[in-house]
């Protein structure tokens, strides 16, 4: 697969203006020219989709070594490229009438972590093995609005308010940008009175299954979209198991995957 296959023109046109410039080269000792940004992005997307180790990236096929592009992933993550790309695509989706911000759904998913590092903890669903947790909030269509990573032992409800705060100001139409849904759907793991009160104060109606109540609340007919989006995220094999020692790099790959899902929705709507 070549760079244009992994990084099509519509993705490159959106991300190129967000990339930080390379430092100026010295006149008398310029050194080696930096790897082309599009080629480096192709390497990152290749690792995200296939899940291979950075050192095993076929440089003869992609065009550059995986270690070099890991450094580019680090630099772009520290520059905040991925959240800005995600916000840009959310703006385009809203402008096209493809976002439904009246309803939102939230949930979490465990992944095994093979390396110790930030946001790694004993997973209660994997016999206490080291793991992390993906927390996700989506709109009524399953479009990812915000995603985060925590230790595997963090309770879902602890990330409800941070995820709501992480939704960027979504523009695209005339008027104030939207930053919150009107209704939030969640399972009984999020049923805490203090969090319900906070949602009401923010003008968000909590539609949360009650703890201790029998199953069959009927909320699954609406909440299934967040489970489907988790399936979309975990189609990117690099996200099924956490390999990155640094949590910010894993978060960057999560944000990039959310952007690719948003871009796919834009493509299929026309």
* Average of per-residue pLDDT across 215-221: 65
Using alpha carbons only, what angle is made at residue 153 by residues 151 and 154, rounded to the nearest 5 degrees? 75
* Average of per-residue pLDDT across 240-261: 95
For residues 269 and 55, the model is more confident at 55
CA distance 244 to 47: 12
Is 134 strand, coil or helix?
strand
Question: What is the DSSP pairing of strand 130-139 with strand 241-242?
Answer: unpaired
pLDDT band at residue 270 using 50, 70 and 90 as cut-offs: low
For 204, residues 6+ apart whose C-beta sits below 8 A from its C-beta are 164, 180, 181, 182, 183, 184
pLDDT tens sequence across 62-90: 677 888 889 999 999 999 999 999 999 99
pLDDT band at residue 31 using 50, 70 and 90 as cut-offs: low
Residue 179 CB coordination number (10 Å): 15
Q: Angle formed by the axes of helices 81-95 and 247-268, to 10°?
A: 20
Q: How far apart are the first and last CA of the chain?
A: 26
The b-or-e profile of 26-61 (16+ CB within 10 A means b, else e) is: eeeeeeeeebebbbbbbbbbbbbbeeeebeebeeee
| Nearest partner of 103 among 248, 16, 222, 3, judged by Cα | 222
**pTM, rounded to two decimals:** 0.91
For residues 270 and 90, the model is more confident at 90
Q: What residue has token string 């319900």? A: 196
CA distance 88 to 86: 5
pLDDT band at residue 27 using 50, 70 and 90 as cut-offs: low
pLDDT band at residue 145 using 50, 70 and 90 as cut-offs: very high
Taking a C-beta distance cutoff of 8 angstroms, is the pair 13, 79 a contact?
A: no
* Average of per-residue pLDDT across 171-187: 92
Taking a C-beta distance cutoff of 8 angstroms, is the pair 139, 172 a contact?
A: no
Given this model, what pLDDT does residue 262 score?
97
pLDDT band at residue 103 using 50, 70 and 90 as cut-offs: very high
Mean predicted lDDT score pLDDT of the chain: 89
pLDDT tens sequence across 109-124: 999 998 888 899 888 8
């Amino acid at each position: 697969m070549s760079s244009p296959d992994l990084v099509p023109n519509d993705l490159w046109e959106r991300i190129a203006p967000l990339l930080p410039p390379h430092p100026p080269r010295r006149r008398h000792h310029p050194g080696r020219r930096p790897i082309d940004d599009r080629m480096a992005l192709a390497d990152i997307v290749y690792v995200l989709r296939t899940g291979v180790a950075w050192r095993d990236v076929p440089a003869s096929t992609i065009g550059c070594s995986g270690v070099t592009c890991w450094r580019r992933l680090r630099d772009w993550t520290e520059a905040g490229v991925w959240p800005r790309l995600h916000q840009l695509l959310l703006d385009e989706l809203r402008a096209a009438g493809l976002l439904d911000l009246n309803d939102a759904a939230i949930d979490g998913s465990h992944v095994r972590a093979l390396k110790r590092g930030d946001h790694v903890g004993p997973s209660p669903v994997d016999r206490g093995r080291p793991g992390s947790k993906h927390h996700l909030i989506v709109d009524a269509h399953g479009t990812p609005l915000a995603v985060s990573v925590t230790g595997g032992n963090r309770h879902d409800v602890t990330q409800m308010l941070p995820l709501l705060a992480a939704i960027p100001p979504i523009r695209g139409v005339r008027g104030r940008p939207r930053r919150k849904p009107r209704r939030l759907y969640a399972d009984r793991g999020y049923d805490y009175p203090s969090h319900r009160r906070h949602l009401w104060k923010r003008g968000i109606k909590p539609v949360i299954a009650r703890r201790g109540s029998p199953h069959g609340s009927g909320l699954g007919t609406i909440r299934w979209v967040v489970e489907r989006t988790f399936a979309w995220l975990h189609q990117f094999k690099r996200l099924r198991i956490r390999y990155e020692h640094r949590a910010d790099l894993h978060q960057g790959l999560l944000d990039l995957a959310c952007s690719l899902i948003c871009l796919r929705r834009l493509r299929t709507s026309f």
